Chain A
Amino acid sequence: MSALGQSLKRIEDRPLVTGAGRFAADERRPGQVYMRVVRSPVAFGRLVGVDIDEAAALPGVRAVWVHADIAHLPPIDFRMTRIPGLDPYRQYVLAKDYVRYVGDPVAVVFADDPYVAEDAAEMVFCDIEEEDACLDATGDPVPFMPQTLPGVLSEPACIVKAYGDLDAAFAGAAHVIELEVKVGRHTGVPLETRGALAVYDAARDVITMYGASKVPHYNRDTIARMLGLPRDHVQLSEGHVGGGFGIRGELYPEDVLVCCAAHALGVPVKWVEDRREHLLAANHSRDQVHRMRAAVNADGFILGLTDVFFTDQGGYVRTHGGTVSDLAAALLPGPYVIPAYRVEGHIRLTNKTPAGTYRAPGRYETTFARERLMDAIAHRLGLDPVEVRKVNLIREDQMPFDRRIDALGTHVVYDSGKYHDLLERTLARLDYPALKARLAARRAAGEKVGMGLAYFVEKSGLGPRDRVTLTVLPDDRIEVVTGVASIGQGVETAMAQICSDVVDLPIQNISVIHGQTERISEGYGAFASRVTVMTGSAVRLASQALRETAFAQAAPLLQTRPDDLDLVGGRVVARSSGAAISLSDLAQQLPEGLTAEGVFEADHMTYPYGIHVAQVKVDPETCGVSVEHYLVAYDVGRAINPMMIDGQIVGAAAQGIGGARLGGFVYDEAGRPFAASFADYLMPTCHEMPTVDVLLREDAPSPLNPLGVKGAGEGGITAVGAAIAAAVDDALGRPGLIDRLPISPNRLHAVMGAGG
């Protein structure tokens, strides 16, 4: 039986359950020194000086650096979505002239012991002339660094996308509906904090950084460029990674600093951040305000839509450039036809932690915006929310559907989808009329219960390409070398299943290498739900190439023709004679061994889609929202390992359910963060988690790759905010009540009080 589609146990789990994992902080080398970052205690101000004398004099301290000591290092450049005008807003690895958020790195201390490094860091005094912090991304732009960059304001760019005839749409509208919504500040918060160990090998003149993740090849190239070294003089190596969620593994100041220090000091340099630093310094995300205006006909069909939105990207523009705003602008229309559209996305900087991507970036926010709008339309027209969605959904016969705009430099064309069909299946799974009646009966009996539904389109499989090499090893083993990264999502098992499908060996016989820049010439990493689509397709092509090579080489040995051969259980078998040779034996007979390469290229993304349904109960005393039941319906085209996809969806839903109801990042008026520990930045425990029912479908395979797959990593979170907001409205009988996330108890108390 093919391994594809089987819920096989993961091949990567044994070291993780026995404590033998190698996470970033587990790496150590003799003679290593520890780096500790001194961070700005204020949100905005002119950096007048840094007094390091007392810290430098502490026994055990090797060095203390400020910006002047590394002034040759350029600011960190953009990895994605480089938009003209962003350059002045890049972050230097240590603050230059100004500090722009609480947590901005000002100095670094290197010491023989991590406790001493912390002691010394506390002795560094930052002389900062504090200025008023800007915390509102929707106000008039303010100076970025008033004295040193006069005229540079806090709006680095504005993204505009449009199609269709909006004037006609609004002229012909039966209703015009306006809505402003806000999504608060959250981030991925992997349970492993960031960390790295850089080792300089003077004999080879190579710096190796352990603790890499997500995009090792890109980061290798960038670190080498920043340090002025040839790219093969820097290598990145990934061990185990304790969660990614978009934020881990981007190139941060600390990664560059450890590499620079290992080179300059000539000793291994280790850095592991603490949780407070993580919450202050690793990328935040979300934090958007949308102002929508929809022209709607008498049936609820949206004739035209405009949106002006603001993304609060915090102190600097980091590696993602304009990614989040670009995705938000392009994908706001979601699963609906919307024949005319114009969007204006303002990228704004404030004095908060810089922001990048977090699982479903741009889609989480815009799904909340769009689905709240759909509910508002339903309410205005007196229609069932499901009916309004049906009226607007793109039909199956309209696929592939050209949205006529771009996202991440690719043309947005929904490759396949049966949107109405998935909605019908979801309603059937819920027994929708009966569920509605049950909830109405409970409400009549005094309970505040309700349900909400939200539809969304995800995107996945960003190119441009992926390369994979296969090598047949002795003892019926195959090594698959990829250029991707594993952030805990089961990459090794998924790739092994795809290879196993062709070579017909158990997945336990297949080793999957990832995150090692020394092992493969190029790699594009693990983000944007791209691994199974891109790398998986490359593994399939490489496996097929391996089979063809094996047949060509084995045919003379087995005294037959290649087309008489089969690959069964890792053995090349002649159908006519039954003669056979294992791949391992064949490889040993070939002077070059048995290897193959696969390259998969894609210039369009693939678009999975789904529906979330939340059933909630509001406690009118505490204003707490408990989620009684949750359903995610999701079409991934083709499921390689349904158990792992369920795991991705349920885990993502948990992140969303936590984020929709718990605090998030909030600041006082001076820009000091309130949420700098797990006691303040709340995350769901198993107590807050309902049972999540997953309706996994494979009705619309992607025509864009040989497996038909679409990414599964993000769709579990995309519509959580939208579905829970609708459910709370329903529970309280107050349509449109929830117009911002998170729905914290104090926020709910405030809005419930306003209407009785």
Chain B
Amino acid sequence: MSDKHAVTLNVNGKDYRIQVEPRRTLADALRDDCGLTGTHIGCEHGVCGACTVLVDDRPVRSCLMFAVQVEGARVRTVEGLAKGEELHPLQKAFWEKHGLQCGFCTPGFLMLATGILEAEPDISDEDLRDVLSSNLCRCTGYQNIIKAVCAAASEMRACQPSASL
């Protein structure tokens, strides 16, 4: 069980050279081997979405991937969202709209929303709600999470240079 493999994880633009067993999940590798504990583990069977990170810009459940599968890919986690002291529009919106209470599910929602808004900046509110239904929150009842993501979507669209110009 202890045959470890050398893997390089590129997380938030930085390379982490780690030794892991093939069975080690990406979530555990991020948390325990890279020390990035902002990615949370809520169920370990792919339902709750608390462990959502971006792998090559697409949201994945990091509890359902093995670390060795991520060699050569770019991983983004909640720790990489803010630019120094300047929070990402989604982080600001969650704070402004009271989109979190205990905050345990928040990193997963932030990464899920980042992934979808980067891929589909003009996504309709209805489709956005559909995407957000993939993650669980036990505190907020979702109302303020949806408000926050919609508000951030508007701000992110406003900040994007228009393609038609």
Contact = CB atoms under 8 A, between A and B. Distances in A.
Contacts of A647: 98, 101, 139-141, 144
A17 B94 CA distance: 8
B68 interface: no
B136 interface: yes
A243 interface: yes
A25 interface: yes
A245 interface: yes
A677 interface: yes
Given A23-B40, A190-B104, A692-B143, A17 B87 contact: yes
Contacts of A651: 101, 138-141
Given A678-B45, A686-B132, A119 B1 contact: yes
B107 to A, nearest CB: 5
Question: Which range holds the interface residue count of chain A?
Answer: 35 or more
Contacts of A26: 31, 37
Interface string A631-673: 0000000000001101110111111000000000000000000
B77 A190 contact: no
B46 to A, nearest CB: 9
A577 interface: no
B24 to A, nearest CB: 7
Nearest to A646: B98
Nearest to A716: B141
A518 interface: no
B54 interface: no
Given A274-B44, A678-B43, A689-B142, A17 B96 contact: no
Nearest to B107: A19
A192 B40 contact: yes
Interface string A373-413: 00000000000000000000000000000000000000000
B142 A191 contact: no
B36 interface: yes
B129 A687 contact: yes
Interface stretch (A7-15, A96-104, A230-238, A524-532): A7-15
Contacts of A488: 101-104, 139
B6 interface: no
B7 interface: no
Interface in A1-30: 9-10, 13-23, 25-26, 28
B145 interface: yes
B38 A25 contact: no
B87 A191 contact: no
Interface residues of B, number: 58
B28 to A, nearest CB: 8
Contact of B101 (A15, A17, A274, A489): A489
A95 B119 CA distance: 52
A240 B37 CA distance: 12
A756 to B, nearest CB: 34
A465 B39 CA distance: 38
A588 B120 CA distance: 56
B138 A191 contact: yes
A622 interface: no
Given A19-B37, A21-B38, A687-B130, A190 B142 contact: no
Contacts of B146: 686
Given A17-B94, A21-B103, A191 B143 contact: no
A589 interface: no
Given A17-B87, A19-B39, A650-B141, A191 B104 contact: yes
Contacts of A754: none
Nearest to B96: A9
B78 A275 contact: no
B141 A19 contact: no
Given A190-B104, A678-B136, A686 B129 contact: yes
Contact of B24 (A10, A115, A193, A244): A115
A10 to B, nearest CB: 7
B129 A19 contact: no
B47 interface: yes
B102 A487 contact: yes
B111 to A, nearest CB: 10
Residue picked from A18, A192, A648, A689, most chain B C-beta under 10 Å: A18
A18 B141 CA distance: 21
A675 interface: no
Contacts of A20: 38, 79
Interface in A487-531: 487-490
A242 B23 contact: no
Nearest to B23: A115
Contacts of B110: 17
Interface of B is mostly: loop
Given A25-B37, A677-B47, A679-B47, A653 B141 contact: yes
A519 B102 CA distance: 23
Contacts of A686: 129, 132-133, 142, 145-146
B45 A677 contact: yes
Contacts of B139: 191, 243, 488, 647, 651
A650 B140 contact: yes
A652 B50 CA distance: 20
Contacts of B31: 25-26
A685 interface: yes
Contacts of A679: 45, 47
A274 B36 CA distance: 19
B83 to A, nearest CB: 11
A189 interface: yes
B95 interface: yes
Contacts of B36: 19
Given A191-B50, A243-B102, A655 B138 contact: yes
A22 B142 CA distance: 23
A662 to B, nearest CB: 12
A10 B98 contact: yes
Contacts of B134: 685
A683 interface: yes
A190 B37 CA distance: 18
Contacts of B98: 9-10, 643-644, 646-647
B62 interface: no
B103 A18 contact: no
A13 B100 contact: yes
A116 B37 contact: no
B47 A678 contact: yes
Interface in B83-142: 87, 91, 94-96, 98, 100-107, 110, 129-130, 132-142
B55 interface: no
Interface string B14-52: 000000010110001001100011111111110110100
A229 to B, nearest CB: 30
B70 interface: no
Contacts of A650: 140-141, 143-144
B81 interface: yes
B73 interface: no
A188 B79 CA distance: 29
Given A9-B96, A275-B45, A189 B138 contact: yes
A109 interface: no
B78 A19 contact: yes
Nearest to A242: B104
A677 B44 CA distance: 10
B87 to A, nearest CB: 7
25 contacts: A9-B95, A17-B94, A17-B106, A18-B38, A18-B87, A19-B38, A19-B107, A20-B38, A21-B103, A23-B104, A25-B31, A190-B104, A191-B40, A192-B42, A240-B102, A243-B139, A487-B102, A488-B101, A648-B101, A650-B144, A651-B139, A678-B43, A679-B47, A686-B145, A687-B129
Given A16-B106, A651-B101, A686-B129, 8 more contacts: A25-B41, A190-B102, A191-B136, A647-B140, A678-B45, A687-B129, A687-B130, A692-B143
The 9 A-B pairs of least Cβ separation, nearest first, read A19-B38, A488-B102, A16-B103, A242-B104, A654-B141, A19-B78, A678-B47, A686-B142, A650-B141
